Amino acid sequence: MKEVQAIVHDKTGTLTKGKPELTDIIILDETMTEEDVLFYAGSVETGSEHPLGTAIVRGAQERGLSLESPGSFTSFRGRGVEGSVKGSMVRVGKPDLLPAEAINEEIERQFSELQQQAKTVMIVGLDDRPIGIVAVADTLKDDSIEAIRELEAMGLKTIMLTGDNEQTAKAIAEKLGMSDIYAEVMPDEKVDVVKKAQEKYGMVAMVGDGINDAPALAQANVGVAIGTGTDIAIESGDIILVRGDISGLVSAIKLSRETFRKIKQNLFWAFFYNIVAIPLATFGLMHPVFAEVAMAISSISVVTNANLLRRADISPSYEAGPD
């Protein structure tokens, strides 16, 4: 861990709490109301297990809407979902799920404004025509900003990996103060991102919590799994952050550096005593008993010095949040 030069962070569930909430509903069709848009979006998303879809469903239920299960359902990885609701085909996701001519400049402008606010934005289409826009935001963990700042201050490059639009990703990365971002990354492309980071920076750690993070955790020089995440991610990690907060990552790096410092100190003392005492005893310049005492002192000093590691301050320089 002490050799790591860069750390790749998966965004959702790692830097954020992984519990996105519905924040905006924009009407694009005058024949529709906010409730109509949310009904269609929420109904088709009942077939999805993605956190963004869950946020839309939860938002609809909180508004008292009675949703329907889609008659058919298809998930387009990294793009969105579609399904039939009341005999119509409903699509929720990126604008490219709808015909290109259905997306005008006004829709693009509204998308851009919401993305600049670090929100994930999705179009809602009904039979190939846009009827609304929904936006979802995931709250950053209490200690994410402070942890990233400290990691950067320690000389490490921090990289964010996300499936979000690049504009949304940049807004979040700027808030966190991260060195680099990889946006619009598909689940099966995460390993490639880690490989690129290794080519660019050398030794790389990867932090993740989901099922699709497991291959990237295995590819990284050090895999760091969030303890509140999935079992397969935890099994793939070399280090487990049990509480789930990023401040544990700061402590892990400090502990690694302190441990290696103790190793070097102990090697010095072990060799120092033996290099001085053994030749003197060999040539009769020191009584063998004194040489044996020197070797015993060497062992005692090494063990004592190692135990001083307990006193090393590996806590973050800020006060970690309750997570």
- Sorted by where each begins, the domain ranges of the chain are 6-16+146-244, 21-137, 250-311
212-237 exposure pattern, b = at least 16 Cβ within 10 A, e = fewer: bbbbbbebbbbbbbbbbbbebbbebb
DSSP 215-240: HHHHHSSEEEEETTS-HHHHHH-SEE
Q: Clarify whether 96 is annotated catalytic.
A: no
What does the pLDDT read at residue 221? Answer: 95
**62 membership: H or E segment, kind and range:** helix 51-62
How much is the pTM?
0.74
For the chain, what is the mean pLDDT?
Answer: 88
Q: For residue range 33-43, what is the model confidence (pLDDT) as tens digits?
A: 999 999 999 99
CATH of domain 6-16+146-244: 3.40.50.1000
How far is 242 from 220, CA to CA, in rounded Å? 19
How far is 83 from 67, CA to CA, in rounded Å? 13
User: For domain 21-137, is the CATH number 3.40.1110.10?
Assistant: yes
**271 membership: H or E segment, kind and range:** helix 247-282
The number of beta carbons lying within 10 Å of the beta carbon of residue 15 is 27
Q: Of these residues, 10, 138, 209, 213, which one is catalytic?
A: 10
The token duo for 129 is: 């025509």
pLDDT band of 77, cuts 50, 70, 90:
confident
